[in-house]
């Protein structure tokens, strides 16, 4: 829903309908639309980061690590196009992003991801 309509145009009622929950039931699990968004972003980004780290760490040489970094990202985003649209909005400079809502946890994990990219590419250089 966030991928199709964007964060600001998605309502709790629409999320509840798509999830086959009542709005009241949804509020039992999440305090707000922001909380749902942050939970989804954290979960999917953790999955992505774990996959990339595993593939890069398993690669033997520097060129294989660089290849693993790029190939894993491409495969993951091809498989998870909806997440890619949200990811690109969040870190692509869009004025419609809700970066502030993402919190410290995902920001720290993104720093881990950027450090992995930096170290992998620096070793390749």
Q: How far does Cα 12 stand from its chain's mean position?
A: 20
pLDDT averaged over 10-residue windows placed end to end, the chain, 125 residues: 87 93 93 89 91 95 94 95 84 54 73 90 86
Residue 28 confidence (pLDDT): 94
90 close to 38: Cβ distance less than 8 angstroms: no
Residue 94 is predicted with a pLDDT of 47
Q: What is the pLDDT of residue 103?
A: 65
Distance CA 44, CA 60 (A): 27
**pLDDT recorded at residue 87:** 81
Give the per-residue pLDDT at 23. 93
Check residue 104 and give its pLDDT: 72
Contact 123, 67 (CB under 8 A): no
> What's the confidence (pLDDT) of residue 101?
55
Instruction: Report pLDDT for 41.
Output: 87
């Amino acid at each position: 829903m966030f991928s199709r309509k964007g964060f600001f145009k998605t309502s709790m009622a629409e999320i509840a309908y798509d999830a086959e929950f009542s709005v009241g039931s949804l509020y039992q699990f999440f305090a707000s639309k922001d909380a749902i968004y942050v939970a989804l972003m954290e979960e999917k980004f953790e999955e992505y980061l774990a996959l990339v780290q595993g593939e890069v760490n398993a690669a033997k040489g520097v060129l294989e690590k660089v290849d693993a970094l790029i190939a894993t990202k491409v495969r993951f985003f091809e498989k998870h196009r909806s997440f890619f649209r949200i990811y690109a909005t969040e870190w692509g400079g869009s004025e419609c992003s809700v970066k502030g809502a993402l919190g410290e946890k995902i920001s720290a994990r993104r720093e881990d991801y950027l450090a992995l990219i930096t170290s992998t590419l620096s070793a390749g250089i």
